[in-house]
Amino acid sequence: MTNMEVETQVRKFTEAPLHLLIGGQWVDAADGRSFESVDPATEEHLATVPHAGDEDVNRAVRAARAAFEDGSPWRTMTPSRRGKILHRIGDLILEYADELALLESLDNGKPMAIARVADVPLAADLFHYMAGYATKIEGETIPFSLAEPGRYLAFTRREPVGVVAQIIPWNFPLLMAAWKLGPALAAGCAIILKPAEQTPLSALRLGELCQQAGLPDGVLNILTGFGDAGAALAAHPDVDKVAFTGSTEVGRSIVQAAAGNLKKVSLELGGKSPNIVYADADLDQAVRGSAGAIFFNAGECCVAGSRLYVERPVYDEVVAGVKREAESIKVGRGTDPDTQMGPLVSREQFDRVTGYIRSGLDDGAQVAVGGERVGDRGYFVQPTILTGTSPQMKVESEEIFGPVVVAMPFDSPEDVARKANATSFGLGAGVFTRDIGKAMRTAETLRAGTVYINTWNVFDAAVPFGGYKESGWGREMGHEVLRNYLEVKSVIADLK
Ligand code: NAP
Ligand code: MG
C-alpha cells in the first residue's frame, strides 16, 4: 500500500464509530457513553470510543466465562489449532504493519518510523513465539515413594487459569496488548482486555485482527474506558486472574481489589533504573547507550535508565556526550519521517513531567540540557539532563516517566552498587564496562529483573521481563510468563 492508502485506511478506522468487543459482537457501551482519544502532537480530536461502565464489565466477564465453559469451541479446540490462530494473528499484524504503526503514532505520539520497526514487529513476534507454546504445555509424571512401586500413578496437568482481566498502559499500547494476550491465549484462557484511556485504538484494531484470525467469540473481549473499569475487573468475583502493567500505585490497588476472591495477580510496574558507566567503558558506546536508555520512547518506558551513575574520572566527558546526543534528537510529530522523539502521551503526563523538572530546580538541581517545553502546541518536552541532585530530591527517587535523567558521579563499585540498589524499585539496571568480570559482578549485585551490559532497551519474546521489589510480581515473555496463566493440577490414581 502507498502511504496515502495507509493514511486513508487509518482515517477510515478512526472516523468510523468504534465499539467495545463483547462476546464477538462490536457494541456500544450499555449506557451509551463515549470519550475522546486525542492526538498528543496536535491536542486535537482523533477518535471517539465507548466508555465502558459496570454493566459492560459484567457483560464482558459473562462472555469470557461462556467462552471458557467446558464444551465451548475454545475449550474443545486442539492445541495445534490454537497455535495456528496465534500464528495467524502475528501474520496479520505484519500484513497491516503500516496501518498499525500510523495508528499507534497518532494515538500515542511516538514516531511512526520507530513503531514500524519496533512496536509492531515485536508484537507480531510475540504472537509467533507464543503460538509455538500452545502445543507444548505439558505436565509431568511423578514417581511415588509412599507406597510400593507401581501402586499409584501421579501426574500433573497444566490447565488454563480461566477468565483473565488484562489492564495495560499507554506507552507501548499494541506491544503491551501482545505481551498480555499472547501467553494467555496460548494457555487457553478467555480474556477481558482494558487498554489505557489515552491509547485505546490499536487494541480495537488488534481485536478485529484476532477475529479475522479465527479466534472464537468471547475469547477476547475489549473494554475501552477508564480506571473504574479496570478496578471493577480487578474486583470482579468471576474473574480468575488479573494481569496489570502500569503505575506502582495502581498496582497496589489491584492487589487489594483482587483480595475479595483471591484471584491470581501478576504485575509489571514502574522503575527508576540505574545505569552505571565505568571509566573503562567504550565511552562512545556508553554515551549512545545511556542516551537511548532514557530518551527512547520519550522516556515513557518502564525500564528507562533514569539514574545515570558515571565513574568520577569520566563523569564530565560522559555527561557532555549524553548532552550532545540530547541536543541532536529531533523532537516533532510522530508522523514526520525524520522525527526521533514525539510528544508525551497526554496533558496529564506533560504536567507530571514538567512538574518534576520544576521540583528538581526548586530543590537546587541544575539543568545540563533541556528542561523546557518544545513549541506551544502538543505535549513536547526537551530531552533533559539534571545534575547536582541528592537522594532526598523527588527527581532522584521517583519515577518521572519522561525524557529526564539525573546524572551523578560515583567513586567505586561498592559505592555505586549501594546507590543503585537504594530504591524501592527493581525493574531494570545496566552497566557499561569493557571488563567482563566487573560486568558480571555488577550484574549479580544489582537487584533488578533485567540487567543490560553495554546496551539498553533490548527485548526478545523469549527473554523474561519483570521486576524485583515494588516493580512487580511475575514475569512477562519467555516460558516464564506461562506460569501466570496456568494452574497445575495433580492427578493421583490407585492402580491396585
Ligand atoms: P496507571 O493509572 O497505572 O494506568 C495503567 C492502566 O491501569 C490503565 O489502563 C488505567 O486506566 C488502569 N487503571 C487506572 N486506575 C485503575 C484502578 N484503580 N484499577 C484498575 N485499573 C486502573 O498509569 P497512568 O496514570 O496512566 O500513568 C501514571 C504513571 O504510571 C506514569 O507516570 C508512570 O510513572 C507509570 N506508568 C508505568 C508504566 C509501566 O509500563 N510500568 C506504564 C504507564 C505508566 P486509565 O487509562 O483509564 O487510567
Ligand atoms: Mg491513570
pLDDT in tens, 336-378: 999 999 999 999 999 999 999 999 999 999 999 999 999 999 9
The per-residue pLDDT for 1 is 86
In this structure, which ligand is nearest to the CA of 345? Answer: 1
Distance 62 CA to ligand 2 centre (A): 26
Atom of ligand 1 nearest to the CA of 176: 40
pTM here is 0.98
Using CA atoms, how far apart are residues 24 and 191, in angstroms rounded to an integer? Answer: 12
- pLDDT tens column, 209-240: 999 999 999 999 999 999 999 999 999 999 99
Does the C-beta of 297 come closer than 6 Å to ligand 1? no
Q: Is the pLDDT of residue 401 over 90?
A: yes
The predicted-structure confidence for 249-283, as pLDDT tens digits, reads as follows 999 999 999 999 999 999 999 999 999 999 999 99
- Cβ count near 149 (within 10 Å): 8
**What value does the mean pLDDT of the chain take?**
98
d(CA 63, CA 180) in angstroms, rounded, equals 19
Our answer to whether residue 210 is catalytic in this structure is: no
Residue to probe by mutation, ligand 1, list 110, 168, 250, most atoms within 8 Å of CB? 250
Q: Is the CB of 172 under 6 A from ligand 1?
A: no
Cell 546524572, residue? 407
CB of 226 within 6 A of ligand 1: the answer is yes
Eight-state DSSP code of residue 264: E
The set of residues, in sequence order, having a beta carbon less than 8 Å from that of 492 and lying 6+ positions away, is 152, 153, 154
How far is the C-alpha of 308 from the C-alpha of 431, rounded, in Å? 10
**pLDDT tens-digit profile of 165-198?**
999 999 999 999 999 999 999 999 999 999 999 9
Q: Tell me the best of 38, 167, 423 to mutate to test the pocket of ligand 1, counting ligand atoms within 8 Å of each CB and taking the most.
A: 167
**Among 230, 236, 199, 182, CA closest to 64:** 236
Q: How many angstroms is it from 414 CA to the middle of ligand 1?
A: 35
The rounded Å distance from CA 246 to ligand 1 centre is 4
Ligand nearest to the CA of 269: 1
One-letter amino acid for residue 247 of the chain: S
